[in-house]
Every structure is written in structure tokens, then in C-alpha cells.
Amino acid sequence: MSGATADPRLAAARAVPKKRMRLSWSDPALRGIVWQVVIVALVVLGIWWLVSNTRHNLEVRRIATGFGFLWREAGLPIGEHLIDYSPTDTYFRALLVGVLNTLRVAIVGIVLATILGTLIGVARLSKNWLLAKLSAVYVEVLRDLPLLLQLLFWYAMLQGLPGPRQALHPAEGVYLSNRGLKLPGLVWEPAHGWALAAFLIGLVATYFYRRSALAKQMADGRPRPVWPAALGFLVVLPVAVWAALGAPWTVDWPALRGFNIQGGLTLSPEYFALLLGLVLYTAAFIAEIVRSGIMAVQLGQWEAAQALGLRPGQVLRRIVLPQALRVIIPPMTSQYLNLTKNSSLAVAIGYQDIVSIANTTLNQTGQAIEGVAIIMGVYLTISLSISLFMNWYNKRIALVER
């Protein structure tokens, strides 16, 4: 096979004949090129038309373009904000509050929908007839009704709750009224921050401990339990740090003062309804994805692993999950993106997410193009981040096939 030994005539005979382009419509290569040129031309034409049309209209209406308005005072009240905000702040800060509000509902929603969806998906495969049928009914009802309708339903339900004075009071410090859910809150002090930092360090330490325990098992075969170390790193260490700093513990109890319940943590009815609606709706889809993923792993895989003496937990961890996840991850990514984008329906029930705030900004300033561009930019950034992460994860667990 080496080139040095080859007789030049033989080498020439073996060379792949060069493909020549024929100038004929029956040549697939030529057809391909023509179609690509046509499509690119159409796209460029379309963009040119959109831009020139917009510029013309802006000129006629004498609207100045640019993002200078972002630094003007917003004068727009926002009920829920994770960072300090008052109406005298800039539009930029208002929009930032909106982005954080969107992220707050999207991230919590994705985590909860994944947990609930997985439980329902597994329950639908259960041998328990009632459990399986209940899960099936859940999935069919929740995914067949429009999300907007469900959001309005949950919001109306929460509005139907009694007022603060007659609030439902199931446990000490917990109040449920039409003003939302009130929970006791911890007064945050530096010691808590340090404890949290210790927890995060413990998380990293646990990861490395687990890696080294596994490496040692591979060396001598003896399995080493990880949980005692995990308990130490994740519970004992943060608690010790917190105790060393004086163990501050002040609880902010909500209580009825005047016409409203004051203090504590608040989940507004808007946030609560939006979260509830998104989680319940998306969980129905995730349940089906999880079910299909588990069903995609043949029964023979369970049997072969069990016949080798693996315990059910080991079968799940080492055989079934790696194969199921590879089926589950791609559609799961789509559901995460759907949940994030569906959070823009917040507008309908008055939760101030990025769409709601950008919309108000757009109305007050008249900067429609910039406002819409900001909304698009925010969703594109969030969505691409989710996609990138999920694609990276998917690649990690991808299966080598023939």
C-alpha cells in the first residue's frame, strides 16, 4: 500500500477519476448549485426589502433610532424584583429586573417540571393499575388544553382565595390568600453566606472524593461508600461554619398588620399561577418523553444485567439510564426551550417578565424596534445557552453505533 513501491503507471490506473461537471439540468451537482444560488438571492432580497422599508417608515414618522433611551428614568412600577428597584431607576435596570423575573420562573419551572414529569412518566409505566391510569389521564388532560387557558384558570383560582384577613392558615407562619403565598423567611446575615460558600466547596470536595473512591475501587476492587464523606462535606461542614460565626437565626414571621400580611417571603399570585401552569403543562410532555425513553430500553437489557447478578439499582444506574437518557435528552431540550419561551404568556396574568416590561418600555418610549430586538435578544441568549448545555451533555452520553 505504501507509495514508494508503486509503479507510476499502476498508481495512475488506481487514481480516482476526476468528476467533470456537465452543463446539463440532469446533473445533480449543477442543480444543487443553482438552487443554492436562488435561495441565497431570495434571502438577501427579503432582508434588503425589510431594512429599506423600515428605514423609510421611520423617516416618515420621524422616529429616532438607538438605545439611548435605556439610560432614561423608567418611571414604571414593578411589583416583584430580585434586585433593588424603584420607578426612578433607568429603563435598563427595569429590563434587567424583567430578565431576572423570566429566569426566576424558567429555572425553577424547568427543575420542578423535570422532577414532576419524571415521576409521572415512571408512574404511567407502573404495574399499579390506578397509578398508571391516573398518570395517563393527567398527561392527556394537561397536554390537550392550551397553556394560556390553564394559566388563566390557575390565576382565577388563586384570585378566588379569601382576602388577607381570612387567609388560609394551615401552619404557623404560612398564609395563603388572594395576595399570594406568605412563608416565614430567614433574615440573611453574612454567616449564612459563608455557610452557603462552605456548602459549595463541600459539593466540589464530594465530587473529587467520589472520583478518588472510584479510582481506588478500580485498583483493588473494594467499594468505598461515598455517603459518609458527602454527609460531612455537605451538612457538617456548612453547619460548623455557621455555628462558628455565632449561629445567627432570626426568622421573619409573616403576620397580619392592618389590611395585609406583612413580613416573610412572598410568592405573588401571578408568579405562583405562572409557575404552576408552566410546570403542570410541561410535566405532561416530559412524562411522555421519560416514558418513551425507558420503553426504548429493551426488557432483555434488564434480564441480561440481572442474570449477571447486578442489583436493580445497579441495573438502573449502569444499564438502563445511560440508554434511556440518550433517547430522552434531545426532546427534553425542546421542552426546556418551550417552557422558557412559554413564560412570556406571563403578560396575560400580569406577571412582570421581560416581555411585559419591554412592552411597557416600548409603549412609553415609542422605541418599538429596539424593544422587540431586546426581547428577541434575551430569549435567543437564554435558549442558545440551554441548547449549548444540553447538546454538550447529549454528546457526552452519545452511543457509538455501527
Q: Is 310 in the site for another protein (CB under 8 A)?
A: yes
Place of cell 466540589: 204
Chain positions 55 to 94 lying near another protein, rule: CB under 8 A, are none
* Strand 174-177 relative to strand 168-171, pairing: antiparallel
Q: Of these, 72, 244, 318, 373, which contacts another protein (CB under 8 A)?
A: 318
Site string for another protein, 241-280 (x = CB under 8 A): ----------------------------------------
Q: Kindly give, in sequence order, each residue whose CB lies less than 8 Å from that of residue 223, ignoring residues fewer than 6 positions away.
A: 217
Q: Of these, 323, 334, 338, 364, which contacts another protein (CB under 8 A)?
A: 323
Q: Is 303 in the site for another protein (CB under 8 A)?
A: yes
Q: Kindly give, in sequence order, each residue whose CB lies less than 8 Å from that of residue 240, ignoring residues fewer than 6 positions away.
A: 198
Q: Kindly give, in sequence order, each residue whose CB lies less than 8 Å from that of residue 364, ignoring residues fewer than 6 positions away.
A: 74, 75, 76
Q: Is 95 in the site for another protein (CB under 8 A)?
A: no
**Of 59 and 401, which CB lies nearer to another protein in the complex structure?**
401
Q: Is 9 in the site for another protein (CB under 8 A)?
A: no
Q: Is 305 in the site for another protein (CB under 8 A)?
A: yes
**Considering CB under 8 A, how many residues would be counted as binding another protein?**
29
Least distance to another protein from the beta carbon of 165, Å?
57
Interacting span for another protein (CB under 8 A) from 79-87, 92-100, 309-317, 372-380: 309-317
Interacting span for another protein (CB under 8 A) from 130-138, 184-192, 317-325, 355-363: 317-325
Interacting span for another protein (CB under 8 A) from 137-145, 274-282, 322-330, 342-350: 322-330
Q: Is 330 in the site for another protein (CB under 8 A)?
A: no
**Of 62 and 396, which CB lies nearer to another protein in the complex structure?**
396
**Of 64 and 219, which CB lies nearer to another protein in the complex structure?**
219
Site string for another protein, 184-223 (x = CB under 8 A): ---------------------------------xxxxxxx
Q: Is 16 in the site for another protein (CB under 8 A)?
A: no
Q: Is 319 in the site for another protein (CB under 8 A)?
A: yes
Q: Is 309 in the site for another protein (CB under 8 A)?
A: yes
Please give the C-alpha separations between residue 144 and each of 99, 118, 281, in angstroms, as whole numbers.
29, 19, 9
CA distance 374 to 355: 9
**Of 320 and 345, which CB lies nearer to another protein in the complex structure?**
320
**Of 237 and 297, which CB lies nearer to another protein in the complex structure?**
297
Interacting span for another protein (CB under 8 A) from 35-43, 82-90, 376-384, 393-401: 393-401
Amino acid letter, residue 265 = L
Please give the C-alpha separations between residue 137 and each of 74, 78, 95, 133, 169, in angstroms, as whole numbers.
47, 39, 40, 6, 31
Q: Is 401 in the site for another protein (CB under 8 A)?
A: yes
**What b/e readout covers 264-274, taking b as 16+ CB neighbours within 10 angstroms?**
bebebbbbbbb
Least distance to another protein from the beta carbon of 211, Å?
14
**How many alpha carbons lie under 13 Å from residue 10 in its C-beta half-sphere?**
7
Q: How many CB atoms lie within 10 A of CB 74?
A: 25
CA distance 342 to 335: 10
Q: Is 314 in the site for another protein (CB under 8 A)?
A: yes
CA dihedral 232, 237, 240, 244 (to 10 degrees): 160
**Of 21 and 307, which CB lies nearer to another protein in the complex structure?**
307
Which residues sit at the interface with another protein, rule CB under 8 A? 217-223, 298, 300-301, 303-311, 314, 318-319, 322-323, 326, 399-402
